[in-house]
Amino acid sequence: AQSVTQPDIHITVSEGASLELRCNYSYGATPYLFWYVQSPGQGLQLLLKYFSGDTLVQGIKGFEAEFKRSQSSFNLRKPSVHWSDAAEYFCAVGAGYSSASKIIFGSGTRLSIRP
């Protein structure tokens, strides 16, 4: 069965520092991979997605993620975080063969920013 693991429950980084959030997935075929962000009181917003092609994908708000098939990983990175990046981040995988299939989420990583 498909699954997503986010090993870090909570991370704190200083404003301006670089960020990497880890994600590992379990899926038999080439997956659809996503990173979502949820700010307080807001819904889930899609940061970026990977379907195929270039394994380094760029997203909104200066985020990027790299798909590494050999490591079953899809880590999220940002070179310099801003205080407004404080939120909860979810890695996810599309669970079926259709682009409209359900999404399976990891348990989330809460990001705090130190001034």
What are the residues binding other proteins (CB under 8 A)?
4, 32, 36, 41-46, 49, 51, 90, 95, 98-108
> Hey, what's the torsion of the CAs at 68, 60, 49, 3, to 10 degrees?
70
Q: List the beta bridge partners of residue 53.
A: none
Closest distance between other proteins and the C-beta of residue 109, in Å?
12
- Would you say 46 or 56 has its CB closer to other proteins? 46
Q: Are 111 and 18 in contact (CB under 8 A)?
A: no
Dmax over Cα atoms in the chain, in whole Å? 43
- Would you say 11 or 44 has its CB closer to other proteins? 44
- Would you say 70 or 99 has its CB closer to other proteins? 99
- Per DSSP, the chain holds a count of helices (H) and strands (E) of 0, 12
Closest distance between other proteins and the C-beta of residue 92, in Å?
8
Closest distance between other proteins and the C-beta of residue 44, in Å?
4
